[in-house]
Amino acid sequence: MKKLIALMLVLILASSFAACGKPAEEPAEDAGDSAQQEQSETAATPTIDKIKAAGKLVVGTSADFAPYEFHILDENGEDKIVGFDMDLAQAIADHIGVELEIKDMNFDSILIELQAGTVDLGIAGFSPDPERAETFDFSDIYYFGGQSFAILESNKDKYTSYEDFTGLQVAAQTGSIQADLLAENTPNASAVLLKTVPDVVMELVSGKVQGAFLETAILENYMKTYPEIIEMCPVEYDSEGSSVAIAKGNDDLLAVVNEVIAELLESGKMDEYVAAANEISDQAIA
């Protein structure tokens, strides 16, 4: 009898999805952020003094995320990582008075390296998600990118609500909050979690998946190259905004990062960085 009532409840809840509204049901499992949960609390702790002694600030990023961070070929035909996150990283290094070293990796490795102390900061459009904030510190917000659910234009009459994705394939980047948003909003779709954002977009463009959760700023950027992609709806998310990730126990470094962010926001420099990155984001190479 209990089982029957539970089943009926699930059915009632399942049929109450509003178009792009969150399902009332709690997500069954957390598709993202699993790597962070496994980390120990015993990280080496980089401090300003250590960074100065090393002569360099090591920043972990995932350069698959134009306009935040992406690869281009510079004037000499050499591979270079650019984007407004990289300008922020450079401003922090300059403020401390050291060289900047960028370590490019898959997004889901950054927090692991941060915890291991092999990078000083994670700058990769990080959302200060409460679950992550249990293990890591996050700076003040420096940019609001927004969250979107994307589909192909050609399917816009076919798919109008999350409910339409029952049994279909929906993609997001591994370890990202978009993977969590997928689990929450389209729990009845099969989740396709991919290592890089270009992979997520390519699967959508080629029709291998029918929907994708992406940061709005990223989606808008891809829409310039792939006009066949559209936003089906904006996605609700409570910890909106990008911040810098830091291992706990580095309060002096966190304070410096916040100081630089405040300066860049106040002077309008951050806006300039964003505009400049958007200008060249179509040169992004995979």
User: Given the rule CB under 6 A, which residues bind ligand ARG?
Assistant: 62, 64-65, 68-69, 107, 124-127, 173, 176-178, 197, 215
Nearest residue (CB) to ligand ARG, 17 versus 212? 212
Nearest residue (CB) to ligand ARG, 107 versus 162? 107
Q: How far apart are the first and last CA of the chain?
A: 55
Side chain identity, residue 61:
T
Nearest residue (CB) to ligand ARG, 67 versus 187? 67
Token pair in block for residue 115: 């915890």
Give the nearest distance from C-beta 197 to ligand ARG in angstroms. 5
Nearest residue (CB) to ligand ARG, 37 versus 267? 37
Give the nearest distance from C-beta 281 to ligand ARG in angstroms. 13
Sign of the torsion angle spanned by Cα atoms 100, 106, 109, 111: positive
CA gap 240, 248 in Å, rounded:
21
Give the nearest distance from C-beta 1 to ligand ARG in angstroms. 42
Q: Check if the beta carbon of residue 140 is closer than 8 Å to that of residue 266.
A: no
Single out the residue of 228, 218, 231 nearest to residue 278, CA to CA. 218
10 Å Cβ neighbour count for 266? 9
Nearest residue (CB) to ligand ARG, 163 versus 215? 215
Give the nearest distance from C-beta 237 to ligand ARG in angstroms. 9
CA gap 177, 268 in Å, rounded:
28
Nearest residue (CB) to ligand ARG, 64 versus 220? 64
Token pair in block for residue 42: 């015993």
Nearest residue (CB) to ligand ARG, 17 versus 92? 92
Q: Specify the 3-state DSSP secondary structure of 279.
A: helix
| Count of alpha carbons within 13 angstroms of residue 250, beta-carbon side | 30
- Dihedral of the alpha carbons of 77, 81, 82, 87, in degrees to the nearest 10: -130
Q: Check if the beta carbon of residue 214 is closer than 8 Å to that of residue 200.
A: yes
Give the nearest distance from C-beta 7 to ligand ARG in angstroms. 34
**DSSP per residue, 74-91:** -TTS-EEEESHHHHHHHH
Give the nearest distance from C-beta 6 to ligand ARG in angstroms. 33
Give the nearest distance from C-beta 33 to ligand ARG in angstroms. 8
Give the nearest distance from C-beta 176 to ligand ARG in angstroms. 4
Single out the residue of 187, 210, 259 nearest to residue 13, CA to CA. 187
Nearest residue (CB) to ligand ARG, 173 versus 185? 173
